[in-house]
């Protein structure tokens, strides 16, 4: 690597360190000609696939759109930003692992739904309702039934979809718009 100070053609590495997530290597270098020290950063350049929309348009993958999808679905839900970051990284990892140059937008949506199902059931149903374009209440019902079938596998990963009644205490009263139910 050329020295940025004197343009000498060769510099030597005196220290290398990995970043916290292991995706970047920081190298401390020294120029033997002028003695100046500087840092370089090295990371693998792995391109994400181009997204093929349902109408045939192709557009570059946009991590910002992915993050926004998660944030909208999880709005006002008890899921922290760290969990969102982890879910975004999981989707990006899956896309990179696939090694495809192009990927249907539907596949990206399925990856998002998989992560949301593990994070928060309400957010999952929110996203699925928009993503799958539910037309009526029956479509919602079918999706919730499908989610309930998957519940044993998701047990302990998140907060429950519905609060469970206490077995030792009195029945809870839940208020709705037309009075209360027991």
pLDDT in tens, 2-24: 999 999 999 999 999 988 777 78
pLDDT at 163 over 70: no
Indicate yes or no: pTM above 0.75.
no
d(CA 33, CA 160): 65
172 found inside a domain: no
In a shared domain, residues 37 and 58: no
The pLDDT-based confidence of 51 (bands split at 50, 70, 90) is very high
Sign of the Cα pseudo-torsion (122, 123, 127, 130, in order): positive
Whether residue 94 lies inside any domain: the answer is: yes
The residue-averaged pLDDT of 107-126 equals: 88
Q: Are residues 55 and 139 in the same domain?
A: yes
Q: Based on the structure, what is the number of domains in the chain?
A: 2
Q: What is the mean pLDDT of the chain?
A: 80
Compute the Cα dihedral for 91, 93, 98, 102 and give only its sign. Answer: positive
Q: What token pair was written down for 177?
A: 């718009």
* Claim to verify: residue 105 and residue 28 sit in the same structural domain: no
C-alpha dist (Å) from residue 7 to 39, 40, 50: 15, 15, 38
Q: Is residue 137, in this structure, part of any structural domain at all?
A: yes
Q: How confident is the model at residue 68 (pLDDT cuts 50, 70, 90)?
A: very high
Position 154 scores a pLDDT of 57
What's the pLDDT band for 155 if we cut at 50, 70, 90? low
Taking Cα atoms as reference points, which of 141, 115, 145, 142 lies closest to residue 127? 115
CA distance 133 to 161: 21
CA 13 – CA 162 distance, rounded (Å): 57
| Confidence band, pLDDT 50/70/90 cuts, at residue 174 | very low
In a domain, residue 97? The reply is: yes
pLDDT of residue 15: 94
Is-contact 112 59, C-beta < 8 A? no
- pLDDT of the residue at 33: 95
Helices and strands (H, E) in the chain, number of each type = 5, 8
Q: Per DSSP, what are the bridge partners of residue 181?
A: 174
| pLDDT, tens only, 132-141 | 666 667 776 7
Q: How many CA atoms lie within 13 A of 1 on its CB side?
A: 17
Spatial separation of the C-alpha atoms in residues 30 and 125, rounded to whole Å: 55
What value does the mean pLDDT take over residues 73-90? 90
| Confidence bin at 123 (pLDDT 50/70/90) | confident
Does the structure show a pLDDT above 70 at 161?
no
Judge if 108 and 37 occupy the same domain: no
Q: State pLDDT tens for residues 110-119.
A: 899 889 988 8
Asked if residue 171 belongs to a domain, the reply is: no
Quote the domain boundaries for residue 62.
Answer: 50-153
């Amino acid at each position: 690597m050329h020295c940025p100070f004197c343009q000498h053609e060769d510099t030597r590495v005196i220290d290398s360190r990995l970043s916290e997530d292991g995706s970047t290597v920081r190298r401390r270098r020294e120029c033997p000609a002028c003695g100046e020290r500087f840092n370089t950063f090295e990371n693998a350049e792995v391109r994400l696939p181009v997204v093929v929309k349902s109408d045939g348009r192709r557009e570059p993958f946009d991590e910002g759109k992915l993050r926004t999808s998660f944030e909208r679905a999880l709005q006002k839900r008890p899921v922290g930003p760290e969990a969102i970051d982890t879910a975004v990284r999981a989707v990006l990892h899956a896309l990179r692992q696939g090694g495809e140059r192009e990927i249907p937008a539907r596949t990206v949506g399925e990856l998002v739904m998989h992560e949301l199902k593990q994070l928060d059931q309400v957010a999952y149903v929110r996203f699925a309702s928009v993503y799958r374009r539910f037309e009526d209440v029956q479509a919602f019902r079918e999706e919730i039934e499908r989610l309930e079938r998957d519940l044993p596998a998701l047990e302990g990963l998140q907060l429950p979809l519905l609060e469970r009644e206490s077995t030792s205490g009195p029945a809870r009263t839940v208020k709705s718009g037309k009075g209360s139910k027991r």
